[in-house]
Structure 1
């Protein structure tokens, strides 16, 4: 195509040949296809056709690019002697913007296959230059066609007048063929999986909600495909979220369904109450099995494909709404997956990884919601109750981290600068190369801060990851130990958090005592850095107690409390944080048989910023205690120690706050091993020296 008028017969004949040349037709098709397919991918709804179009856009762009470069050199060489005109200027402008488009397209293609994420700058430049290319292409072609029509009319060259039409017809035919091919491939490829169905014998024992007595619901009201909701490892094998996957693998969210303790309790519940009753637990512990209909009659193992992932990546990130009523009061949807995303390897996996990186809009929309930053999201599961459907008696509040936090001083006003929320503590920010690093939704972050929230959900379970030898358990247990001891530094909240131990101790005792006389000792326990009750969780399982030892100057013990015997059982009479639930007959709930619980005969836990003193039967602030009655605490009782006559001073009093996730009875019962021991963490250790005197 010429850039300036030339009416010689040779020049006109050359223009006709150029319009009809196969390379020119191919390049016009190239421009049109890349422009149209790019616009389609940008504005069409996500689906198989849009993904196939993106693949075609990439393939055509890569395959025909060398032919375009050859055409461009040839075209420039042929027209370089001609003087500059507005048409030639348009051609140069088109060349520049298209080269930018081609360069960024090549970069995005490379990053789609080999990088963690595509460049935001390259993506924006590719989009803008693509729009500019389409506009300049249209203006340039229209200008050339109008010019050649004028020349053809003036010279009476019919072939030149017809040549652009023939050229465009061939381009149109190629475009039609590409559309047919795209639609054909889209039809041939497997799209979404067939709708998942509940078993024909599925029991609706608890009413219309198929997942009751859990509060969990799906967006459609029906089941969710376990294959779609599982496969968390693919998030880390795609070259994207390896860091987050490694953090999640030994976490409580990952083993929530697979750990031996949960499985034993679930099967006892199924035996006593029927398998449908286990849906109560599954909403928080085993959502994949719940929504796939596995908690049903005649399914002895009560599990499904992917259930060993517990709260999988997709399950957690597919919750659309959540309510703080608790007991898994959320709505989960089933995301539409990319082509090949459910394959474990091969070409399909390569294609899906490429699509997710180069077409991330759907991925982000499916799995990223501001809801996940809120305490209310956590509260959907971290708040538990038993009602009449379960215990056949009455409503009973169980563990309740959400309301604890909401009523505490950590929930100080509406400003994020003064509040400390769940994710700020339990999902600390860590340096990251993850594609999900950076976030502008938090007040103290930016999209390029190079950090992500730790998905180990570090809390207080140092037992199950080690017991099951989960991948990464040593690192996870070390982080948990640091957390329990208050050694963890969380820079983002240092200006609004406290320093020191999580739960510090203080010994109150006389500075000096007389040999042969008794003296009082108090150990004051203060909930310093905990955002909810301490300890929290199933207090019929957890053991947290004060171990007190008094020794003389020779190291001889003259008093002890809170020791473990050789079998791992705690010394009777120890000061212990715990809860003792009872059933309708007043029997102790001691096997985590919560479905029989109708109340509690004892509960001791510390509300945030409260203190307790080593004593044996005083109820301290808990879930129901509000800040306006903070000072209305029961009177303290103390342990009195006798100082033997002739003891050699000074005396050393040592107090330790010990924590283990499982008491020994439940370790033996739930895990079927008398040899197993839950690891013990001494969270805080303090000492005090007392002089021994003979003076009156």
Structure 2
């Protein structure tokens, strides 16, 4: 019995020693976690390297702490549950539960990242960390106060005995953390890839001091950008999957491999040299422009197989823009590469994983640099969706071309005090073309929505060209949202009878009387085309290429054609007398610049668009034949296609465009009775005509 008693005392002593060792590690890691966590929280923002380093140490220490916590809490509760100190036990249980929550939430944050839709997880982790420190202090204080009076003197001595060990553990832990930090610093530097190819030797400055002219693009000191700092959109998709999948189908992604663009940029290179393609590529492929490829010996983005051709307007092409330099367009932006996180561009899978997790854990710098406030403005879009040509390109003079920004700036969507203003707030380009939609993405907001990266507009041709039926249907739906509407005004019947007697307003009833047209007479039908929902002119974009027109038809009661305007000819072109919304650009000799070779453009011979908030009034006059039967069915359809037929055929000589779909934007139809002119009416008509 004595032996068993001595053995149980010995076992108990060993258990206490093991628990004390665990307490040492528990205390040391707790201090490291507290320092790294609270320094990053209280003194944010820190230097990017220090902030990421502390987060990395915090994550590693948290993983070790979770293991130590499991063993320590089990042994500690097994030893102390028999003590009759309910307050300490309650506080201890609370402390264990809070620490357990911190462990679980910490692991979730490490692997999911700090997501906007679950931002409460990060907030609760931070605030419960403060609660944990407070509970530890209270737990230790009550532990001391609950001892009998005779044993309180023993506790300080035991604490003094334990403190060197605990302090030693803390010192060792901090030393290990410091060594780890140095190793991370060294590893980060030795794993940085060598500078990739930046620019072509003997770069030609044909358009002035700026290497990017004639585009207006700028960088810091007008230096070229490393390819890895602007290309590599597929890496972004690893985290931003929903946005990336949408971008892959978008017109931005296909800005450089669009067959129409390839045809034109090759024409420009052949006519003016590779340096001249900088004018186009500042917006169609910033990768080619900013990396210094657009000079003799380099390749423009129209060349298949190049990174620039694949990316078009890639992720960093937009998200690397920190400021807009002017409202002139032609790439009037300032590009700045984002800051590197630890192990950026490393070829090691492990280090690349750590890099991705650090971006997820500390996304503030990432969001600050890649989502500046300017990206929420229409001027940001206008940096490329506005255009001019000057003497350096056309050898003539300054000519203004498409300008979606100016059209928006003078519209009702930007004039809150305009009496026509019908919206509760100003609308930017992004409000229509990047609407919020549901998406599983790191950038999703608290409602699980992201800004659409389809950039839906009017380019149904590209969606069909690259076989994306989902985007095609989205684009058709977008075009048919009644932003532009068409109305046929009921015709005026000049031969209708009127009562000459006076009737007071309270005796009159509001009533639309039937209107009729008469065989053998000349009639006029008015069609109103209103641009009430588009934030710029309709049509917009390259209106020398795309075209909208009114298809106007009248059939009699037997289905016989009475009158038509806006029909397509056998060669696919619109018949000459149709009402067409487009532009005809001309060169210095007055000839049409129909191949979109805008470097030859010096003016316009024709332009017809409907400004935002305006209505176009179109009159159709026709003779009603005697053989027509009643009623007349009158219909008008506003149609749109991306490419006019002449240009479409020219592009098809070299690059096959799979489709050039025609979309019905809006339509209206009415039926009008058709009557024979009575003799008395004929006399009245002659009198009215004479007057």
Contact 1:501–1:684 under 8 Å retained in 2: no
Report the secondary structure of 2:558's partner residue: coil
Q: CA deviation at 1:291?
A: 1.2
Unaligned runs of 5+ in 1: 1-9, 146-150, 439-447, 487-499, 615-637
Contact 1:228–1:337 under 8 Å retained in 2: no
Aligned counterparts, 1:547-626, within 5 A? 547-614=551-618
Q: CA deviation at 1:19?
A: 11
**Residues 17-59 of structure 1, C-alpha deviation per residue, up to 9 Å, x if partnerless?**
8599543332232212222332454447464564454344323
Residue 22 of structure 2 is matched in structure 1 by 23
Q: 1:119 to 1:530 in 2, by over 3 A?
A: closer
Q: CA deviation at 1:419?
A: 2.6
Residue 366 of structure 2 is matched in structure 1 by 363
Report the secondary structure of 2:70's partner residue: helix
Q: Within the alignment, does 1:383 sit opposite 2:383 as a pair? A: no
Equivalent residue in structure 2 for 1:666, among 623, 636, 647:
647
Q: 1:580 to 1:345 in 2, by over 3 A?
A: farther
Contact 2:408–2:536 under 8 Å retained in 1: yes
Residue 474 of structure 1 is matched in structure 2 by 469
Report the secondary structure of 1:299's partner residue: coil
Residue 280 of structure 2 is matched in structure 1 by 281
Q: Within the alignment, does 1:321 sit opposite 2:323 as a pair? A: yes
Report the secondary structure of 2:264's partner residue: helix
Q: Quote the Cα distance in structure 2 between the aligned partners of 1:338 and 1:367.
A: 14
Q: Within the alignment, does 1:427 sit opposite 2:431 as a pair? A: no
Q: 1:504 to 1:432 in 2, by over 3 A?
A: same
Contact 2:639–2:666 under 8 Å retained in 1: yes
**Residues 100-131 of structure 1, C-alpha deviation per residue, up to 9 Å, x if partnerless?**
24423322423542589383223123223334
Contact 2:488–2:525 under 8 Å retained in 1: no
Report the secondary structure of 1:654's partner residue: strand
**Residues 410-445 of structure 1, C-alpha deviation per residue, up to 9 Å, x if partnerless?**
22327982433322222223345544333xxxxxxx
Q: Within the alignment, does 1:523 sit opposite 2:527 as a pair? A: yes
Contact 1:388–1:395 under 8 Å retained in 2: yes
Q: Quote the Cα distance in structure 2 between the aligned partners of 1:552 and 1:77.
A: 97
Equivalent residue in structure 2 for 1:408, among 408, 411, 433:
411
Aligned counterparts, 1:279-318, within 5 A? 279-302=278-301, 304-318=306-320
TM-score when scaled to structure 1? Answer: 0.80
Q: Quote the Cα distance in structure 2 between the aligned partners of 1:641 and 1:201.
A: 66
Contact 1:19–1:164 under 8 Å retained in 2: no
Residue 496 of structure 2 is matched in structure 1 by none
Q: CA deviation at 1:276?
A: 1.5
Report the secondary structure of 2:249's partner residue: coil
Residue 98 of structure 2 is matched in structure 1 by 100
Q: 1:343 to 1:462 in 2, by over 3 A?
A: farther
Q: 1:128 to 1:526 in 2, by over 3 A?
A: closer
Q: Quote the Cα distance in structure 2 between the aligned partners of 1:22 and 1:694.
A: 112
Aligned residues: 632
Residue 233 of structure 2 is matched in structure 1 by 232
Report the secondary structure of 1:538's partner residue: coil
Residue 443 of structure 2 is matched in structure 1 by 436
Contact 1:100–1:126 under 8 Å retained in 2: no
Q: Within the alignment, does 1:484 sit opposite 2:484 as a pair? A: no
Q: Quote the Cα distance in structure 2 between the aligned partners of 1:587 and 1:133.
A: 79
**Residues 445-492 of structure 1, C-alpha deviation per residue, up to 9 Å, x if partnerless?**
xxx3443332222221111121122xxx21211121122222xxxxxx
TM-score when scaled to structure 2? Answer: 0.80
Equivalent residue in structure 1 for 2:663, among 681, 686, 691:
681
Contact 2:225–2:291 under 8 Å retained in 1: yes
Q: 1:79 to 1:504 in 2, by over 3 A?
A: same
Report the secondary structure of 1:503's partner residue: strand
Report the secondary structure of 1:106's partner residue: helix
Q: CA deviation at 1:375?
A: 1.8
Q: CA deviation at 1:534?
A: 0.9
**Residues 163-182 of structure 1, C-alpha deviation per residue, up to 9 Å, x if partnerless?**
63354234313321231123
Q: CA deviation at 1:341?
A: 6.4
Q: Quote the Cα distance in structure 2 between the aligned partners of 1:194 and 1:278.
A: 29
Contact 1:49–1:186 under 8 Å retained in 2: no
Contact 2:105–2:125 under 8 Å retained in 1: no
Report the secondary structure of 1:216's partner residue: coil
Q: Quote the Cα distance in structure 2 between the aligned partners of 1:382 and 1:507.
A: 35
Contact 2:583–2:607 under 8 Å retained in 1: yes
Q: 1:182 to 1:140 in 2, by over 3 A?
A: farther
Residue 443 of structure 1 is matched in structure 2 by none
Equivalent residue in structure 2 for 1:506, among 488, 513, 522:
488
Report the secondary structure of 2:567's partner residue: coil
Report the secondary structure of 1:354's partner residue: helix
Contact 1:49–1:182 under 8 Å retained in 2: no
Contact 1:656–1:684 under 8 Å retained in 2: yes
Contact 2:556–2:630 under 8 Å retained in 1: yes
Q: CA deviation at 1:140?
A: 8.5
Contact 1:504–1:528 under 8 Å retained in 2: no
Residue 454 of structure 1 is matched in structure 2 by 452
Q: Quote the Cα distance in structure 2 between the aligned partners of 1:393 and 1:657.
A: 36
Q: Tell which deviates more after alignment, 307-316 or 513-522.
A: 513-522
Q: Quote the Cα distance in structure 1 between the aligned partners of 2:182 and 2:455.
A: 45
Residue 3 of structure 1 is matched in structure 2 by none
- Look at both structures and tell me which one has the larger radius of gyration over its CA atoms: 2
Q: CA RMSD in A?
A: 3.9
Q: CA deviation at 1:356?
A: 2.9
Q: Within the alignment, does 1:647 sit opposite 2:647 as a pair? A: no
Residue 4 of structure 1 is matched in structure 2 by none
Report the secondary structure of 1:249's partner residue: helix
**Residues 617-674 of structure 1, C-alpha deviation per residue, up to 9 Å, x if partnerless?**
xxxxxxxxxxxxxxxxxxxxx5542333433333322221110011111112224368
